[in-house]
Amino acid sequence: MSGMRKGRLFVIAGPSGAGKGTLRTMALSGIEDLVYSVSCTTRQPREGERDGVDYHFVTERDFEDKVAGGLFLEHAVVHGCCYGTLLESVERETDAGKDVLLEIDVQGARQIREILPESVLIFIAPPSLDALEKRLRRRKTESEDKIALRLENAKKEMALSSEYDRIIVNDNLEQACEELRDLILSSRKVEKA
């Protein structure tokens, strides 16, 4: 008896401002049995962000304890703050047969590929670095120096896009969302066949 099918991981990564958060929300609202794993971070909450919903906001001390305790499936330092995916929150869902969507950085995506090679890795790319800069400014969530850091990191991240199972260029949002949705649904079909 094999029991219920175990869920698998869909990972979206890509530069800050490429539209990962926007696409993630759209995918989650439109696809059944797909859930989001809320990450831990030492970053300060932005206006409107809720603890336990957008992130688990933790202190550096608390984060270090979790690392030492082996509580993370993957973790990394991104733009100067610590971020990590809790093993428990992923397993709870995959054990219940749900697919889990992770929105993490490129270092985290590499770790997932190593640990769970059957995961589907998706790179969300902006149409250009210019467009990316405009989006980051328009979002108004980061100060100028933080925007500069994110743009600098974006160049390095873009160079890693070939490591992914699929690259989705988020130019037209509706189209990118459709592509993501099709990819997730078709991966499920392949698995069943």
Residues at the interface with ligand 5GP (CB under 6 A): 16, 20, 39, 43, 74, 76, 78-79, 83-85, 103-105, 107-108
Mutual orientation of helices 129-139 and 144-158 as an angle, nearest 10°? 150
Tell me the residue number closest to ligand 5GP, measured at CB.
Answer: 108
- Looking at the DSSP assignment, which residues form a beta bridge with residue 149? none
Comparison of 66 and 74: residue with beta carbon closer to ligand ADP:
74
Q: How far is the CB of 136 from ligand ADP (least distance, A)?
A: 7
Q: Which is nearer to ligand 5GP, 12 or 188 (CB)?
A: 12
Q: What's the token pair of residue 71?
A: 């509580």
Contact 119, 11 (CB under 8 A): yes
Neighbour tally for 35: CB within 10 Å: 18
Residue 170 Cβ vs ligand ADP, minimum distance, rounded to whole Å: 5
Rounded Cα gap, residues 33 and 27, in angstroms: 11
Least distance (Å) between residue 139 CB and ligand ADP? 4
Residues near ligand ADP (CB under 6 A) are 16-22, 135, 138-139, 170-171, 173
Q: Which does 104 bind (CB under 5 to 8 A by kind): ligand ADP, ligand 5GP, none?
A: ligand 5GP
Q: Which of 111, 143, 158, 121 is nearest to 15 (CA)?
A: 158
